[in-house]
Structure 1
């Protein structure tokens, strides 16, 4: 696998960044999470005047062999049908990215369908879906490495187009199953605590899903702490591509806005390859998929929002984007006490 040369964030401007936000015409800390966001982006960009340039969301799509066993509320065919919906601008991710003026791209990482060449879908298909990991490895090691490489290439292209702020989305019926297994193995959490409702399973459906995944897990003989082996056996082509894209984005010093359960599973895997990737991330929201909070806690992540979303596609990141934009705007445009001629708070006299 290619080496991703991710640098630790510089601490050189830390004091100046903190002073800048603290000297705005407001009580200390009164903009809450917005202050944390602004300081993080300033630190990532090593700038006292951070900018969000050509923000982009890339949705990676792939099919999963396990979907044939009924682990999802929807049939596998929904994956390719949703890509047509994306191209017609009718999905939630279209609505929100359009609303906020964010570039939108769709990647066929491994959908079980041939799309017409004239559709504006980036074709990086590895195969027509993964194999069923109840019986065998989802993909070969070579396919996993190819997916990581292709994901990195797509993000590098976005960067060349002027993008410094990236969000990831996904589409693939059955991919919460892969995310649950990735979480269970890489964070050492019992599988039962990682399996959730996905696209809307009832209690009986969740029980059946757990039993099917546990069957696959019982056949796994690879290392439980090796992200590449875990991704190869249980991952999806779209998740592996996102993993590569995240590592490349961090290498290029882009800001990553992390969506929900599946996207965070890709980040979890990426962080086991190079933990420095986490320094470049903002976490949009806590998904309503039950194990997402365990994943966030494992990464030491603080989500910006908790509004009960679990749609995927990158929608949580898009809904969060205006908050991120507001954070950068106040940091750059709000007057300091000195500029505004406003008196700062006076420290209480020691005698009090």
Structure 2
């Protein structure tokens, strides 16, 4: 195994003993069996992943990956590319939705700029990696060189390693990049039997004609890259994006290190699908935050075999859905770990 192919290294396996202990504990808590529904399932799953009967979330960390997309030249977005850098500034100043959600929950928010169209962009508190002035237009050529794609995957890995060093026990991630619903759609199609007709949506707010044009651009790109899309890394570099690659690298690293990752919306789910295709052993470590309103999200979640925690009609991205799911995840742990058993509460058990 070469260092360049670190993403193929096996991921950790859930702890069967911890899972059995958590199930036994659930059976003794002062409630009817199964009365807390999915909260019970979530707690037991976290127990297996953390390797202890009573899972805890004490130090969640959130990283946001940003990058521009050359395919915007095809007219696939309702917003100009300049918005990517402008939103990075908004994250820094605390004005974005995910900034508020992170701040209200006392959760660190790391900002990683992988490459916007402004090569001189310099914002305080942002790690500017500058892999390129955005990706190339994947409707004309490959979005990334192999070197850029590997560097973006590594950026995701480095972010998780940094979070681990800070004691992270739950990793959340978000994204920002005008044009990235087009990249996510193309990537998900390349990695599955799903079609642009099934997955293409309005993204930042396209009208019907705009959605049809966006679909046509993606269809043309899939034909252009053709058989090269059969290998996951090639699919990622040809029709993906810097932030999609970083997300995939982060999810894979979480699974290899034994850190549960919370997957946000449509774009993050497409990156999770890529991670799964690169290394199927990543799957147990991915918690899916919500069922988003972007039309293709449900189909990608089905492809992943995922059961999202929330359904709030969200389509913002940025990690906002993952941040909204965090209290639910923490409460599942608290219920599992702090409720009294029948014997502790001196309550008669079922006969």
TM class, shorter-length: over 0.9
SS of residue in 1 equivalent to 2:65:
strand
Gap runs ≥5 in structure 2: none
SS of residue in 2 equivalent to 1:221:
helix
Show CA shifts across 1:115-160 (max 9, x none).
6656100122211100001110001112111111121111111101
2:146 and 2:121 mapped to 1: Cα distance? 29
Contact 1:112 1:128 in 2 (8 A): yes
Gap runs ≥5 in structure 1: 347-352
Residue in structure 1 matching 2:331, options 323, 326, 334: 326
SS of residue in 2 equivalent to 1:167:
strand
Task: Please identify which structure carries the higher helix content.
Answer: 2
1:88 and 1:165 mapped to 2: Cα distance? 24
Contact 1:66 1:134 in 2 (8 A): yes
Contact 2:56 2:330 in 1 (8 A): no
Deviation of the 1:16 alpha carbon: 1.3
2:111 and 2:145 mapped to 1: Cα distance? 24
- RMSD over aligned CA atoms reads 1.3
2:53 and 2:261 mapped to 1: Cα distance? 19
Residue in structure 2 matching 1:247, options 246, 252, 255: 252
1:293 and 1:225 mapped to 2: Cα distance? 23
2:220 matched residue in structure 1: 215
SS of residue in 2 equivalent to 1:109:
strand
Paired residue total: 346
Answering whether residue 308 of structure 2 is matched by residue 298 of structure 1, we say: no
Contact 1:73 1:199 in 2 (8 A): yes
Matches within 5 A, 1:188-199: 188-199=193-204
Contact 1:94 1:104 in 2 (8 A): yes
Task: Using the TM superposition, name which of 202-211 and 80-89 deviates more.
Answer: 202-211
Contact 1:57 1:169 in 2 (8 A): yes
SS of residue in 2 equivalent to 1:94:
helix
| TM-score in terms of structure 2 length | 0.96
Residue in structure 1 matching 2:176, options 159, 171, 192: 171
Deviation of the 1:224 alpha carbon: 3.4
Deviation of the 1:236 alpha carbon: 0.5
Matches within 5 A, 1:1-352: 1-2=5-6, 3-114=8-119, 117=122, 119-346=124-351
SS of residue in 2 equivalent to 1:13:
helix
| TM-score in terms of structure 1 length | 0.95
1:212 and 1:13 mapped to 2: Cα distance? 49
